Structure 1
Amino acid sequence: MTQARNPPASPNPASAKTTLPSDGYTGRSRRARAEPMLVRPLRDDRYVVETDHGTYVVDLDGRTCTCPDHSIRGSRCKHLRRVAIEVTEGRVPPPGKRTSACAVCGRRTFVAVTEIGPQLCERHEVAVGDLVRDRETGRRLIVTRVTNRRADEATTDDGTTIAAYETNGDYGDHEPVIEAVYLDSVRGLDGSVDASELKRYGFPASRLRRLGSERVRGAQASLDAFAGA
């Protein structure tokens, strides 16, 4: 088992009621921030809001809350407002998302509830057609597929796991495998990608460094078919 360059970390959710800055706010908006609350997402896309006076369930999409202020008066209560604030500020996942940890840096990230396997944060995620650089060789590649398979589970044609290769010894076994092709081997005469030349290689995610927002001309159309192969 190789040692991860950046070991994964737990999402470390808050476990105590907190307040938020409330200067400049009035009424329910101020109370939504100034009063101590703990917001916890439920599996059905609703949220539990714990306060000093009671515990309530908020449905953000349905714009409902079980508190008397909303149930009786029909008001957009402080609990609804607080959940909306925490979702907007990235404190809790929005409906349809769950909390995960980036397999490279351990940073908390939100992913679709249906996602499985190791995940990546915005800083480390890549997409089909992205231009990346191999940290070991310095060569540039084009991403052809982003998998949810771990480097110690995904295998090459000869049955060897991606993690078992000596050049991958400094990268995490737990990281998702990114498949890519070397740029200098797939360039067409006009500078676009020639799909007929594709030969894919698998890498632990942190071995590939994304080159800003660069994408290769012609890559998306040529590589889309490979993304689900």
Structure 2
Amino acid sequence: MTHPAHTPASPHSNTRPTLPADGFTGRALRARVEPMLVRALRDDRYVVETDHGTYVVDLDERTCTCPDHAIRGARCKHLRRVAIEVNEGRVPPPGKRSAVCAVCGDRTFVPVAERGPQLCDRHDFDPGEFARDRETGSVVVVVGVTDQRADEYETAEGRTVADYETNDDYGVHEPVVEAAYLESLRTPDGTIDLSGVKRYGFPASRLQRLGRSHPRVAVSVTGTALEA
């Protein structure tokens, strides 16, 4: 599960915000300083509410329903404003939706089709990353992030991850991260098929990210195998 970088959300009220002028002129200036409220639609278009009307912008097609664009074919201030808010992380880009990180509560953008609890870029994990188990201090290698909450994911013992006392200090609503203990990955040829690795489930905040480097071993993901 890959997520884009953590970004602030667009205002969820009827207030039409303005943006700093930053030395711009012409339409670029008007796109920033005029009050506009941008909202993402489910079809990857955007509604732009202004003091003079409401318009629909399609970034992919570079169109807007305002007269300036419809009559003159100009790259209007509404198109520019949507592009600015997407680039500055105020609204999700096409193909993404807003979500709330299950660990910190910050807003992030994820693919529209993704379901279940989500993580922001600061708390997400990629396969092959190292992490430290906060309870035991052991180093693990992340296999993947599931779309199941800690109170949904069942272990081989028939218990949910949230049922274990060692997970009492972590949110039951957090997605479960599957990981293998580093020492279990040692093999003579240095390659392990992920399907044969014993995986353990952890609430996301129980693991402390260490990145992709470790003084004892380097692990990378290729296809369905971990290479040590």
TM norm structure 1: 0.88
TM superposition shift of 1:195: 3.6
TM superposition shift of 1:194: 3.4
* One-letter amino acid matched to 1:208: L
Distance 1:88 1:154 in 2: 36
* One-letter amino acid matched to 1:138: G
Deviations 1:141-200 (A, max 9, x none): 00112101000001011210000000000000000000111001222347x453486211
Partner of residue 12, structure 2: 14
Partner of residue 92, structure 1: 91
- Unmatched segments (≥5 aa) in structure 2: 1-8
Partner of residue 34, structure 2: 35
Distance 2:167 2:95 in 1: 34
Partner of residue 221, structure 2: 220
TM superposition shift of 1:26: 0.6
Q: Are residues 1:54 and 2:90 paired?
A: no
Distance 1:12 1:217 in 2: 40
Deviations 1:27-55 (A, max 9, x none): 00000001000000001100000001110
* One-letter amino acid matched to 1:221: T
RMSD: 1.9
Partner of residue 187, structure 2: 188
* One-letter amino acid matched to 2:192: D
Given that 1:46 and 1:60 are in contact with CA atoms closer than 8 Å, whether structure 2 keeps it comes out as: yes
Partner of residue 4, structure 1: none
TM superposition shift of 1:99: 0.2
Distance 1:213 1:200 in 2: 18
Given that 2:180 and 2:200 are in contact with CA atoms closer than 8 Å, whether structure 1 keeps it comes out as: yes
SS in 1 for 2:221: helix
TM norm structure 2: 0.88
Given that 2:45 and 2:56 are in contact with CA atoms closer than 8 Å, whether structure 1 keeps it comes out as: yes
SS in 2 for 1:132: strand
Partner of residue 148, structure 2: 149
Partner of residue 206, structure 2: 207
- Unmatched segments (≥5 aa) in structure 1: 1-10
* One-letter amino acid matched to 1:118: P
Given that 1:193 and 1:218 are in contact with CA atoms closer than 8 Å, whether structure 2 keeps it comes out as: no
Partner of residue 44, structure 2: 45
* Percentage of matched positions with identical amino acids: 66
Q: Are residues 1:108 and 2:107 paired?
A: yes
Given that 2:55 and 2:66 are in contact with CA atoms closer than 8 Å, whether structure 1 keeps it comes out as: yes
Distance 2:193 2:135 in 1: 25
**Number of matched residues?**
214
